[in-house]
Structures are given as C-alpha cells and as structure tokens.
Amino acid sequence: MNQQGHMASYGQPQPGYQGYQQFGYNSQHTAGVPTSQYGPYNGPVQGYQPTAVPQGPLRTASGAPPTSLPPSTAAQSTAYNQYGQGDVQNGPAMSDQSHRFPVSQPYMPGSHPMPYQQYAPLHSTAQQLPNQMAAMQISGSTNNAPPPASQSYGPPASHHQTAPSFPPTGLGSYTQYPTPLQNIPSSVPQGGNPPQHPFPGQPVPVSTFTSPPTSTGLTGSALPPPPGVPRPPAMHGPPLSGQPQTGLPPSQPPTGHYPPQLNHRPTGPQSGMPGVVTGPPTQGFQAHPTQPSQGLIPQQNGSFGQVRSPQPNFAAPYTGAPSYTSQPQPQQKRLDPDSIPSPIQVIEDDKSNRGTEPFSTGVRGQVPPLVTTDFVVKDQGNASPRFIRCAAYNLPCTSDMAKQCQVPLTAVIKPLATLPADEAPPYIVDHGETGPIRCNRCKAYMCPYMQFIEGGRKFQCAFCSCVSEVLPHYFQHLDHTGKRMDCYDRPELSLGSYEFLATVDYCKNNKIPNPPAFIFMIDVSYNALKSGLVHLLCEELKTLLDYFPREGNAEESAIRVGFVTYNKVLHFYNVKSSLAQPQMMVVSDIADMFVPLLDGFLVNVNESRAVINSLLEQIPEMFADTRETETVFGPVIQAGLEALKAAECAGKLFIFHSTLPLAEAPGKLKNRDDKKLINTDKEKVLFQPQTSFYNNLAKECVAQGCCVDLFLFPNQYVDVATLGLVTYQTGGSIYKYTFFQAQADGERFLNDLHRDVRKVIGFDAVMRVRTSTGIRATDFFGSFYMSNTTDVELAALDCDKAITVEFKHDDKLNEDAGAQIQCALLYTSCSGQRRLRIHNLSLNCCTQLADLYRNCETDTLINYFVKLAYRGVLSNPTKTVRENLINQSAQILACYRKNCASPSSAGQLILPECMKLLPVYLNCVLKSDVLQPGTEVSIDDRTYVRQLVTSMDVAETNVFFYPRLLPVHKMDMDSDDFPVAIRCSEERLSKGGIYLLENGLSLFIWVGMNTQHDLIQSIFNVQSFGQIDSAMTALPMLDNAYSKKLRSIVDMIRAQRPRFMKLMIVKQDDKMELLFKHFLMEDKSVNGGASYVDFLCHMHKEIRQLLS
C-alpha cells in the first residue's frame, strides 16, 4: 500500500526569542558556561546570489537534435534553490511540530530495469538526461524558470539507433502515472511549439502552464511506447483549481500560486510526498503538497536536485561516470553534479529555515535542526539535542516493521556536552539524605514523564508502569490537570536534563570520594629530548598547572598533581611543599611495579609551587646528555595506577611517549608493521592489540577510576592499536604528532594539551540507559569498558566524548504512549562530589513506514554506521565491512521506494527527503582511510583515526567525513558571517580563488595560481603567487580588512573543534595539493574510492536489484 505521507509544521518564527535565557529555579544562580566548541558553523546565510548566464537559442522542431535549454537569468534565479525552502509559508503556522516531511526525489525514467544507471541533472521539474542505459529523471519540486544553458540535455537523435539495447526515449516511452501534480499540460504536444518562457524577472503564477520543450533529451514526439510499457493515459485538460486529480487524495488539494522572488531563496509551498513526474518537463507546473492548504512548512532538508546557477570560474566539467556495460556506448553529455542532492544546499536551507528561532524541546518526537545549524535550545521537558540525538524520532511500533525498513534505532549521547553561553547548564537538585526519587522496580529517576496519581500520594513509572509511593517530604497536591502544583519549581518534573547530588549510597565502598589527581608521566629517552618535546613541555607545565578544572566559582582547583619521568626505568619525584629541592627516587625493578613514596608524590599545586617549578627547570637539564633510546610503557601505566590506589582517589594519567616499547618489561611489544597484510583477510589483526596484557591493565584502571590520556610523538611505527587500548577503554583521549619538532608542531601540541587539561570531566563514571517497555538498549559504541550488558563503565568521561547506543524491540510499542529514553550518568566531579546527571527524551511511535522515514536524521545515522563499520574491521576484512554498509543502506532506501513512494518506473531513484544525503555521506565513510586506505597511509594512522572517530559526536563525524570548504576570496568584509561553503569537489575550485578546508583534524588554505596580486598581498604579505611560502603554519598579522577577517575565521573554526588544527598552505599544482585533494570527498580518490556521481549510480543499481 502506498502511504501518502503528511507533512507537519515546525511552527513559525516567533519574535522576541533572541538569546533566550532560562529562568532560575528557586532563585538558583545560573552561571554561564563556556561557549560550545560547536558554535555557529556559518551563521545566518546571506542568501545565494546566483550568477547570471548568457541566454541561448532554443530549437524546437520536431525530431531535431536537442539543443541547450535557455538559461536562467539573474532575474529568474528563483528556479535555483526552488525546492524545499520554506522561509515564507502559505497560511498560518500549524500547531504540531513533531514531523519532518516526506518529499522524495525520483530519478530516472526508463521503464525497463537497467543494469547500471547514471544520474541525470535534475531540475526541480523533471528534466530528462540520457545516460548509458536510460534517461533519468528527478522530480518532486517546482520550477518556474527555464533551466540554464550551461547544461545540454539529451544525445543527438541518431544515438538511439546505435544502441539497440536501449529503450527509445521519445515522448511515447514515458508512462504517465497518476501522479498528483498540478498544471500538467492537457496533452503531450506533437511537435514544433516552443515553450512560452516568461520574460526575465516576470513571476510565473502556478495557475498558468506552458507547453513543454519538445527537444529536451527527447528524440521525437510521436514514437510509440516500447513493448511492455503502458501507454500514457489521456488527460483531458489541466485540472481545475481545487479539483482533485487522479491519485491525489481529497485531503491534499492543490495550492494557490505564488510569485518567485528575485535574487533570493524562493518562498512558498513546497512539494510534499514523492511526486514522480514521468512526462517531459513543463515550465510552471507544481508538485502537489501533502497538507491541506492551511499552510505549508519549511522543509527539513531543503532542496534536492535543484540546479543552481553555475558558480563562476569553475574548472573543466566532469566528464561523466564510466560505463558499466560491455556494449558500445553513445557519447555522453556531461552529467551535472549540481543536479544531485547537495550537502551544502541542505545545510544552508536548514540554517535559513530553522536557525532563526529557538528550538523548544516540549513536543514529543520533534526532529531538531541539523548539527550544522546554529540554534538556541529551550529545555521544556526533553533533553537538548546537544546531549542526545536520535537517528529516528518516530520509532516503528513492531520489530517486524523495524526489520523491514532496516533503519537502525540509535541515539548518540554526549552526557557532559558543553553548552553555549546563552544556555543554562543543567540545574543541580539536592534531595538531602534520602537521595533522588526513583521507581521502586526499574530504578528510573524522577522525570517529567512520571504520572502522579491518587491525589499525588503515588506515581506511576513511565518506563515500567510500576506504581510507587511518594515519600512524605516529596508530597505535593495536584492541580485540575493532574500535574503537581510545584511542577515548574522542580527541574526533575519540568526539564529534560538536570543533576542530582548523590548520597553516600552511590559512592564506592560507601565512602565519599577524595578529590581526583593528575599525574604527568614524561618520556625522557633520546628521541623525546632531541625533538625538543621535554623542554617545551616542562616550560608549559609551569603555567598550565593554574588551569586545572575547578568547581563553579572555586578560587582554586581541588585536583592534586604528581610527576614521573621514564625511559627504561621510572623516576618518581617528591615535591612536598616543605622541601627546598625536589627529590628523585628511581625504580629499576619494573617487573613488579610499586610507588616508592606516598607522602609528597601527589600535592596541592599552590602549596608546592616553588618545588614544582624547580623540578620542571631541572628535568630537561638532568637528561640532556642521555643516550638511552629504549623505553617501557606498561609499567608506566601500572605506576600511575598504583599511585592513585595508594591515595584512594580517581584521576588521570597524562603520558607523553615517543617510541615502540622494546625494552624488557611487562607489556613489551615487537614491530609488526606489515604492508603486505593490507586488503587481505589477515588485515584485521593489525587493528587488534598484540597482547592481552593491556586488556587486563585497562580493566584494573577502570575499576580504580584511572583514566589514561596518551600523547604520542612517533618517528616510526609505535603500534597505536596496542598502546592506545588502555586509553580507549578508560574513556581517555589519544593525540598523535608524527615527526614532532618543537618549532613546527609546538603550537598544536600545546593547544591540545591546554584544552585536554582544562576541559570539563567526570571521574569514576557509570552510565546506564533505561527505556520504556517495548525497546531496550542492546549495543554501545565509544571509548569505555563494559563488564556486563547494561552498565557503561568509564574511568573518566569528558565533555567531548559521545556514546552511540543502539535499541532493539523486545515487545510492541504503543503509538499513543510513545517511547521514553533516560540516560543516567553517575560520576565524581572535579571537586570530589558524587553526582547523577539525567537526560530524558520521549519519541513518537508509528505503524506507517512513511512516518518513520519522515522523521529521520541522516547525520546521526552516519555516526552510527561509521562506528559500526570501524568496530567491524576488528573481526572482518575491510571489503566485507564496506559491502555490509552498502547493503544495509540500499535496504533502507529500497524499503522506502517500495512502501512509501508513489508508483513510478523502476528506472527512477527515489530518496526520502530526510535521507537524500545518505548516499553522499555513506560514500565518504566508505572512502575513509580506515576502510579504503591509500598506500601512503600507515596502519598507525588508520588505527588512530579509528579510535578518534569511535567517540565522536554527530557534529564531529559530519565535518570529518564531509569537510567544510569555504571560498575565502568571497568574504563579506561588512559581515561577521563565514562565506557560504561550496561542495567538496575539485571542479568547484577556481584558479583565481583562495579556499579554506577543515574537517576537525586538518586545516588547509588552498591558493589558486591566478589569484589577484592585491589579495595575495593582503593575506600573505608577498607580491605574487610564486613568493608564497607554503611552509608557513600561521598567517602573517597584517593590518588590513582581508587579513583580519581571514585570521578571525581561522580562530573561530579552531574554537569550534575539540582539537587544534595546524594550518597548512597549499599552492595550486604544489606537491602538497595531492594531500589536499584527498579531502575533496565528491571526487574519485586515488585509492579507488568512487566519486559521488558514480556511487549514486551504484546505489541505484543495488536498490533495483533488491526491488526486483
């Protein structure tokens, strides 16, 4: 059964919400928090201003060879960006904010299944483009202006005779399905009438329609349909306004007309359900909406397949995908990448539609704005999307439905996420000695979903339905709606996120914990000293000790500090405040590690400041003449662990290490770097640890609350897979600086170290995710340890770490009750206080697949797929992992096509509106270094990236796999906004431009060889392109507008990311350009990764195979 999806509104922008500040509970002071590292990506959009293209002639004689279509002039730029904008709406806002829209995108007419399809450029109407197998078509949106002349559609007529295996693509071969579209011409013209184009700049009312061009990719107007293709049903005249059409339910009347606006995002009604236009293109028709005309709403994911006006100065056009059949192929016209879904378009549309008003979390199952949109959150009973993001906000009611659609039910949870300054941190609730109120049966914590009954004397749990008594001190009367009178005075009854102070019952051994400690463990072998690391680090630590995390407004941090240096043996330092000079104690018996001193090893920074400074000055001198090249590693972690055990506290080890630990000691490793294993079945062993020693050590560390942060400075293979294991399982962070030199890499290292030491962190943590009856958490991805199936154990958890959780059905869900998720994190704060942070989220449930597909979030889906794949490489060949990813994604899209899309030819690719970027993002994951490495990528680099990505949140995976590319030569000097990003493809780069590319780990500025000299002078302070020094890692500080603006953009981007990105200057045709091009994700990669266009074709082939 085809489900015509319905669209639901997000509500209109409301005035007066700028910088919403949440009220305090009981006059509680709400201190500001540091600005989020994911601040505004690009800020408000300045609006595309497409460049005009010269007008060209149009030939329309029947049977004549096709010609280029006329362009959109600047005045007609409403034809670009036509699909899925929603700035202005037709009628009042609708109250229900809980859904996204189902607009799907058909591609490809062609009535026979073809072996491999290539994608046609799509206008927002349904333009046809030939390709090797069939014409392909994309529809589902409106277009009120002619397409640009820069793309020519259709092969010469003779091509249809040269390849007998292709169906004729004349008008007769188009099946006119009963698609509910407005203003489709009453009959297909039989020849020579040119389309009546509006004058440039003249609005095209929807109520008018024009004859279609007869030569748009068509070879004649009167060919009979090929065998097996039904003839198009006759349509008698255009449908009258308000009259239901064939296939259009009466609940979906046509909408009225609207004039396009000039040089601005088009506004007005958007197309609704997957409309499939299988006839020739018609200027001025409009796809039907899915809501009654009380008002259309902004599309979640913006336009699809619209042809934007060409951006100036692009390089030579893409030559088309390779042929996948052995038959001779007719020569192909260029397939326009502008015609397939654009990540940039979706991001910009979401910014303009959803970045202007606060996102209120009061409505159940509401899909939040994209991670790339800068928005303010108002907590009204569900956790902010900064804390929890889901892949689906409308869950299938049954496990059968979930199996059918294959959409993973996942949430990405970031319990300690940093909030922007204009959002209040979670309130702290103290219930005194009784502790938090909980359900008697399932132990869920009090939250807004609990139902109070019997006048407020009992409450029914929203998770397990058990009824519990309300303790006398917590009793409150109910109002006439059944809510407690104090509902809005208690965070746990009215907010999605809050904290409880935990009682002694929640502490280890029923003892209040001691404040945590930081131990700095410094490699003083020959390599570490020669690179300048030891000297640089010791200098920096003198000031860094003042920046330890502290509680609220505390004057000083409660965290204590200790120091160890090591090579083949370990040196402990007594820095007790009463000493005049630090004392060193050497432990050479590393087989049985112990800590030689208790008193004076972990000290208060301010009390022992003079002794610590003296030690930090002496360490580089003490080891300056060392010739020791061998190091140990296992005993270093053991020493830190023993020190924390002796002090009876949790803490973190900061280990600075340079070489593979080859010295005789526990945890000794051997070099197993073997390129011959790449792309074989044995490749998986390279991602696994060499020895079980570190697994056991990690388990001990987690039990003590000992987290390990590892800073690596290798000049060769160091086996990151083994050394990083303890870091990974204790919730720590790993940093890698290959071929480190203090002068070149010092800035990046010191910035990373500062941020790592200062960030918000919880120690000795346990996280549990509870769900309402019907689903349960079954799988977890991230940096942690699990000793059972429910508790995620973390020696420490910081504000950058995210945990991805997968849910499965264990019963049926109820549409009315929805589904509830509660994440509870028990942790010790940096002052030693035991706390519980609670995040609650309620989701909708559905019995119709269309409702599920309308409320998905592709970015979260990709986050899950990446983590699933990166875990898969531990036990499967990378080829198998890639195939599994493609297969599951194809099943998701095939299920949508089969069950939710309007009937249409099998030759069309139809994507759900919310998932139209799934192919491009999935291709980026498949081409990543972990899954498809080039020869130049080391196994250490792949393991490092694998470990980083495993604990990334949705915003980080989004930019890491599809980098942000900004044309900085187009900066607006009068605006604070970033220039609008462009798509990650070489053909988007102009030889006369300067571009900034970032992905959260790497930062490039690419300079075209024809860049204007005055621009080069303003930014680089040299006269010409040839004089630019590509070895520079910082832009010169110049006193001009361009230099200041570019440097501020670089600073703002760095502030948004958890890791400092070293700047690399890349000149066009320079040797570094190959590295830069590795990040242009829409292009073919040198290691065999497909281009976006080719992969979309491949996905279509996979979907068709599943459907047939």
**Tell me, what's the pLDDT at 552?**
80
In sequence order, which residues have a C-beta less than 8 Å from that of residue 282 and are 6 or more positions away? 125, 183, 184, 185, 209, 210, 211, 212
Place of tokens 């040797």: 1071
d(C-alpha 818, C-alpha 286), whole Å: 36
Distance CA(305)–CA(491), nearest Å, equals: 45
Query: pLDDT of 824-842, one tens digit each?
Result: 999 999 999 999 999 999 9
CA distance 411 to 390: 4
The residues that bridge with 712 in the sheet, in sequence order, are: 657, 736
Is-contact 288 182, C-beta < 8 A? Answer: yes
State the pLDDT at residue 975: 85
**DSSP one-letter string for 514-542:** PPPEEEEEEE-SHHHHHTTHHHHHHHHHH
Helix axes 1041-1056, 1013-1020, angle to 10 degrees: 60
Give the span between the Cα atoms of 592 and 597, in whole angstroms: 15
Tell which residue, 182, 244, 235, 229, has the closest CA to residue 209: 182
* Separation CA 270–CA 273 (nearest Å): 10
DSSP 759: S
Smallest CA-to-CA distance from 410 within 46, 58, 866 is with 866
The single residue listed with the structure tokens 């000039």 is: 262
458-460: strand order across its sheet? 451-453, 458-460, 467-469
**How is residue 982 written in tokens?**
């462009």
Q: Residue written as tokens 């160890």?
A: 564
Structure tokens at 1073: 């350009």
885-906 core/surface letters (b: 16 or more CB in 10 A; e: else): bbeebbbbbbbbbebbbbebbb
CA 290 to chain centre: 29
- Contact, 597 vs 574, CB < 8 A? yes
Q: Which of 820, 778, 799 is nearest to 496 (CA)?
A: 820
User: Is the CB of residue 506 less than 8 Å from the CB of residue 834?
Assistant: yes
Contact 739, 682 (CB under 8 A): no
Residue for token digits 């959009």? Answer: 45
Q: Which residue has the tokens 């109820």?
A: 814
Give the whole-angstrom CA distance, residue 1006 versus residue 1028: 11
Q: Which two tokens stand for residue 1090?
A: 């497909």
C-alpha distance across the termini of the chain, in Å: 17
Contact yes or no for 854/860 (Cβ under 8 A) = no
* Residue 23 CB neighbours (<10 A): 9
Identify whether the C-beta of residue 716 lies closer than 8 Å to the C-beta of residue 941.
no
- Read off the tokens for 1006: 């690419």
Query: Which residues are 309's β-sheet partners?
Result: none
Which tokens is 998 given? Answer: 């970032």
Tokens of 976: 């604070």
CA distance linking residue 1101 with residue 788, whole number of Å? 42
pLDDT (0 to 100) of residue 649: 95
Measured CA distances, 868 to 778, 781, 838, 979 (Å):
13, 8, 26, 34
Contact 333, 109 (CB under 8 A): no
Encoding tokens for residue 1016?
A: 């080069």
How far apart CA 1058 and CA 1072 sit, in angstroms, is 25
> 482: how many CB neighbours lie within 10 A of its CB?
11
The answer to whether 795 touches 701, Cβ cutoff 8 Å, is yes
Among 31, 5, 2, 4, which Cα is nearest to 856's? Answer: 5
β-pairing, 517-523 vs 560-566, is parallel
Distance CA 616, CA 610 (A): 10
Check: CB of residue 624 under 8 Å from CB of residue 538. no
Q: Which residues contact 133 (CB under 8 A, 6 or more apart)?
A: 110, 114, 115, 116, 117, 118, 166, 325, 907
Q: Exposure string (b/e) for 110-126, b if CB count within 10 Å is 16 or more?
A: bbbbbebbbbbbbbbbb
Structure tokens at 884: 């599994």
Distances (CA, A) of 717 to 669, 712, 802, 822, 937: 11, 11, 28, 43, 12
Q: How far is CA 421 from CA 32, 377, 381, 443, in A?
A: 5, 12, 20, 33
pTM over 0.85: no
**How far apart, in whole angstroms, are the C-alpha atoms of residue 167 and residue 134?**
7
Residue 781: strand pairing partners: 804
Give every strand in the sheet of 388-390, ordered side by side: 388-390, 409-413, 803-809, 775-781
pLDDT for res 89:
34
1102: enclosing H helix or E strand: helix 1092-1107
Q: How does 628-641 read in b/e, with b if 16+ C-beta sit within 10 Å?
A: eebbbbbbbbbbbb
Q: Give the closest residue to 1001 by CA, choosing from 960, 1048, 964, 951.
A: 960
Bridge partners (DSSP) of residue 384 are none
Instruction: Give all strands (DSSP E) within 338-427, no chain letters.
Output: 359-360, 377-378, 388-390, 394-396, 409-413
Instruction: Write the secondary structure of 168-210 as one string of H (helix), E (strand) and C (coil).
Output: CCCHHHCCCCCCCEECCCCCCCCCCCCCCCCCCCCCCCCCCCC
List the chain residues with pLDDT less than 50: 1-331, 334
Whether residue 1060 contacts residue 755, with contact meaning beta carbons closer than 8 Å, is answered with: yes
User: What are the tokens at 30?
Assistant: 């709400």
- What values do phi and psi take at 414, rounded to 5? -125, 85
Place of tokens 């501020």: 1048
CA 152 to chain CA centroid, Å, is 35
